[in-house]
Amino acid sequence: MADNKLNSFERKFAKMQFGLKVRIDLYKKISSFIKNGVPVNDIVQELETQYLRYNKSDIRATILGDIRANMSKGESFGEALAHWVPPSEAMIIQGGENSGNISQSFHNAIKITESASRMKSTIIGEISYPAVLLMMLSGLIYMFSTQAIPELTSVLPPENWPPVSQKLYHMSKFVEEKWWLVVAVFFTFVIVSFKSLDSMTGTLRNILNKVPPWSIYKTFQSSVFLISTSAMMSTGTPIFEAMSRLRKMSPKYVANEIDKILKEVDNGTQIGDAMNSGFLDRDTGIDVSIYGKVANLQEALDSIGSDAIENGIEKIKGVAGLLKNLVLFGVASYIGWVYYAFYTLTQAIGDSVSAAM
């Protein structure tokens, strides 16, 4: 059996290795055994043994050994697994254990993990190009400001440059002397923005939710919220309880949005209308509201959640496309400005040379 006495560093390193693909493969394997009647305790022990047989350093054996040790202390499989996986996955599997439908809970955990992964991959893939363009623009501005402009000042004093060229000169001086300030402000903005994604609430957040990165975060979290609620309900968890449990393990912003829904329900609002409180995107909110009035929302929520993922991906692509166009416009504008400034400066240098002859 694997040595389960992991120190803090070993545990963190093992958790990093227990990534998305490894988790999904393990979930599928365990789910398959459970469907065929094998008790989960036996699955954990036998898989650990087999993994160790072929590779003593197999990370799956390490994690299964830790799960087995915690189960021997009285924890359920879901509770023992919670030390190693995201809270949403552990909670869904625990819900399946409690309802006696653990096999379905693994299927749901896989679905949520894959859906969230698709959205994250879309965000990274679509944002990468605008980010590269922005870095290229920054490099172009810095190189031009520190190399090209200083050379031109030796040909003609800046005070004799045309107005448009003087503006380019002043900008280049700022970049040359204060580049560190621009970098500091940029990274401060990025850090504060991303820290606020999880924690910021209130009126200002409602305004920021209309622009990236807050709009992208809202789209991602609302889609995952729907699919997670649907997954928990499919294992027998009532919708109100499912949302209450999701609230406990969610970041502050998402918990605040779920709070709004729960308060509306407490005040007598139909669950569909309560969920259409602004957290979901407009079309998804309309669907949830209508299904809540004329059909079984619990049965419809799975398809609505799947549609929300697809809609979210398309929305993220749209936002990324807008960012790309804005950066391209910035690149084109700067190049156009430089070209025009150079043209007028060349004319001024020519006039200066002619006057000196």
Q: Name residues whose C-beta falls within 8 Å of residue 148's C-beta, 6 or more positions apart in sequence.
A: none
* Residue in 119, 120, 97, 93 with CA at minimum distance from that of residue 26: 93
329 and 133 Cβ atoms separated by less than 8 Å: no
Comparing 353 with 252, which gets the higher pLDDT? 252
207 and 196 Cβ atoms separated by less than 8 Å: no
Q: Is the pLDDT of residue 2 over 70?
A: no
- Per-residue confidence (pLDDT) for residue 109, from 0 to 100: 85
* Residue in 243, 234, 229 with CA at minimum distance from that of residue 100: 234
**Burial (Cβ within 10 Å: 0-12, 13-18, ≥19) of residue 229:** buried
How does pLDDT run across 10-24, given as a tens digit for each residue?
888 888 888 888 999
Residue with token string 């054996």:
61
Average pLDDT over residues 154-176: 86
Q: Is the pLDDT of residue 248 over 90?
A: no
Q: How many CA atoms lie within 13 Å of 306's alpha carbon, on the beta-carbon side? A: 7
For residue 300, the SS3 value is helix
Q: Is the pLDDT of residue 4 over 60?
A: no
Question: Across 223-227, 252-256, 275-279, which has the greatest mean pLDDT?
Answer: 252-256
For residue 156, the SS3 value is coil
For residue 319, the SS3 value is helix
Q: Residue 187: how many CB atoms within 10 A of its CB?
A: 10
Average pLDDT over residues 109-130: 84
Q: Evaluate the omega torsion of the peptide bond into residue 212 and state whether it is cis, within 30 degrees of 0.
A: no
Q: How far apart, in whole angstroms, are the C-alpha atoms of residue 310 and residue 316? A: 10
- Per-residue confidence (pLDDT) for residue 241, from 0 to 100: 87
Q: How far apart, in whole angstroms, are the C-alpha atoms of residue 213 and residue 225? A: 18
Q: Is the pLDDT of residue 104 over 90?
A: no
CA 355 from centre of chain: 62
How does pLDDT run across 67-79, given as a tens digit for each residue?
999 999 999 898 8
Q: Residue 135: how many CB atoms within 10 A of its CB?
A: 11
pTM: 0.76
- Per-residue confidence (pLDDT) for residue 357, from 0 to 100: 56
How does pLDDT run across 287-306, given as a tens digit for each residue?
888 887 776 776 778 788 77
Say what percent of the chain tops pLDDT 70: 96
**Burial (Cβ within 10 Å: 0-12, 13-18, ≥19) of residue 287:** buried
Enclosing H/E stretch for 100 = none
